[in-house]
Amino acid sequence: MFLKGIKDKFKQKSGRKYIKQALEKPNYVSTREKGISSLGCIVDLDKFEKSDLFFQFLEDFSLRPNAVKIIGYKSYYDKNSPYSTPVFSDKDLGWNGEIENSYALEFLSREYDLLVNYYNENSLLLNLMSVKTKARIKVGFSEVGPDFNDLMLDTPIEDFKIFKAELKKYLGVFKEI
């Protein structure tokens, strides 16, 4: 038990080091054109459990049925419990910032036009997922900061309707939709 605690501390330290190095590198440059055709969502399910609301973006942005991919984060989850959203947690952290979760790896293997970071607290795993995701535009909450988001919205995390309206407004200003 004692050794497992030390091992976890070193994994967290190597994860923070990976994030720091990734933020020092130039941002990912997408080859995709303007417009939103694929959308990824990283959701903190401990704070916001209604992840199915993100499928409303299909209708709002006129996307194909499989254009929205959602992955949820729970600080602890039971592998035997059914979740409607693929989930990753703190225990999926590996060495050197690697994430050892098949759902997370499948999410990271895709490229997105828009990444929605739907979490409002800095968490190692959530920030790691955000840094590793290839996306042209990253949107999130102002509490997380500009290191992980290109566009930061100052809305309450509980009110998805306001977040969605603000996001749609700003994407219209940027002529993305």
What mean pLDDT do residues 58-79 have?
89
Candidates 50, 38, 30; CA nearest to 150 is 30
153-162: average pLDDT? 93
How high does pLDDT run on average in the chain? 89
> Amino acid identity, residue 94?
G
Is 72's pLDDT higher than 90? yes
Q: Say how far apart CA 51 and CA 157 lie, in whole Å.
A: 12
Residues paired with 139 in a beta bridge: 116, 151
Structure tokens at 50: 């209604």
**For the whole model, what pTM was predicted?**
0.91
Beta strand spans in the chain (E): 39-44, 68-73, 87-88, 111-118, 134-141, 151-153
- Alpha-carbon gap, residue 116 to 54, rounded angstroms: 9
Higher pLDDT, 87 or 29: 87
Tell me the mean pLDDT in the region 119-134.
94
For residue 81, the model assigns a pLDDT of: 67
- Name the residue ranges covered by the structural domains of the chain: 2-173
In contact, 167 and 143? CB cutoff 8 Å: no
Answer positive or negative: Cα dihedral of 22, 139, 94, 70: negative
Look-up of token digits 């509490």: 143
Structure tokens at 77: 């989850």
Which pLDDT band holds residue 131 (cuts at 50, 70, 90)? very high
What distance in Å separates the CA atoms of residue 73 and residue 11, rounded to the nearest whole number? Answer: 18
**Residue 172, phi then psi, degrees to nearest 5:** -70, -40
Q: How confident is the model at residue 43 (pLDDT cuts 50, 70, 90)?
A: very high
